[in-house]
Amino acid sequence: MAITPTVVKAEKREEFGKGSARRLRRDGKIPGVLYEKGIDNVHFAVDRIEMTAVVRNEGVNAIVELEIDGEKLLAMVKHVDQNVLTLEIDHIDLFGIKRGEKVTVDVPVVLEGEATPGAVVLQEADVIEIEIDALSIPDELTVSIEGKEIGDTLHASDVKLPEGAELISDPETLVVNVTFEQVDEELEAEAEAAEEGGADAGAEAAEETESE
């Protein structure tokens, strides 16, 4: 489904450096840079609350229209720097795109359904890389594990992609592995030995107490 980009108002930045960035953050704004082939980088500042909502609600591949000096620039979120303590966004990088242009993105993989009883489902890949129209990027790719049995596997080539999308990840990339619960026999033996040792020590202590 086509995306209607969120319009985010921005202002050009004329000052740079850590001091300028700190002042912007103190004023509730986020410094950022828009990169695009063929044009000079655009340094901007946006409202922290507004941009945080976009990233939180629309995910890692959020598409926005950056409105700056009366011009709207279509762009995709490429990188977000977060404060390690507050987790607030400290800086954001956008990549300029054109309508109808295809982009390469990592899309999260989500499992749905239930495997057969006793089966353990291991998700080996959390994302799949695809190429798709910039305004048709899905929030996630759904993979059904309904009724899967021990020994079943699903690879990137088994994931259903949106219309017009092309798989970039290796088709043989293992996404789901359905297996059984594995018990580490060596660890189990050590645990049993420890229990027996504890029991023996307790018995010896009891005998010594009785003999005193």
Q: 44-87: per-residue pLDDT in tens?
A: 999 999 999 998 888 778 899 999 988 889 999 989 988 888 88
Q: Higher-confidence residue: 183 or 180?
A: 180
Using alpha carbons, select from 8, 161, 30 the residue that is nearest to residue 76: 8
Over residues 171-193, the mean pLDDT reads 77
Please indicate, yes or no, if residue 84 is contained in any of the structural domains: yes
Q: What is the 3-state secondary structure (H, E, C) of the chain?
A: CCCCCEEEEEEECCCCCHHHHHHHHHCCEEEEEEECCCCCCEEEEEEHHHHHHHHHHHCCCCEEEEEECCEEEEEEEEEEEECCCCCCEEEEEEEECCCCCEEEEEEEEEEECCCCCCEEEEECCCEEEEEEEHHHCCCCEEEECCCCCCCCEEEHHHCCCCCCCEECCCCCCEEEEEEECCCCHHHHHHHHHHHHHHHHHHHHHHHHHHHC
CATH number at residue 77: 2.40.240.10
What is the phi/psi pair of residue 75, to 5°? -150, 160
Mean pLDDT, to the nearest integer, of 177-190?
70
Q: Are residues 94 and 108 in the same domain?
A: no
The rounded distance, in Å, linking the Cα atoms of 183 and 198 is 23
Last residue of a domain, one of 81, 98, 115: 98
- % of the chain at pLDDT higher than 70: 86
Q: How many domains does the chain have?
A: 2
Better pLDDT: 9 or 205: 9
Band of residue 207 on the pLDDT scale cut at 50, 70, 90: low
CB 165 within 8 A of CB 130: yes
Do residues 109 and 190 share a domain? yes
Q: Which residue has the tokens 């989500």?
A: 110
Domain-ending residue, one of 40, 64, 98 = 98
Do 39 and 94 lie in a common domain? yes
Which residue shows structure tokens 């059904």?
A: 144
pTM to 2 decimals? 0.70
In this structure, are 74 and 137 located in the same domain? no
State the number of CA atoms in the 13 A half-sphere of 43 facing the CB. Answer: 9
pLDDT band at 206 (very low <50, low <70, confident <90, very high): very low
Residue 87 one-letter amino acid: L
Range of the domain at 186: 104-196
Contact 32, 94 (CB under 8 A): yes
Residue 6 confidence class, pLDDT cut points 50, 70, 90: confident
pLDDT band for 37, please (50, 70, 90 cuts).
Answer: confident
Phi (first) and psi of residue 151, to 5 degrees? 100, -15
Structure tokens at 202: 């307790």
What pLDDT does residue 177 have? Answer: 95
Amino acid at the residue 106: D
pLDDT over 70 (residue 189) = no
Rounded to the nearest integer, the mean pLDDT of the chain is: 85
The string of pLDDT tens digits covering residues 98-156 is 888 899 999 999 999 999 998 999 999 999 999 999 888 988 999 999 999 999 999 99
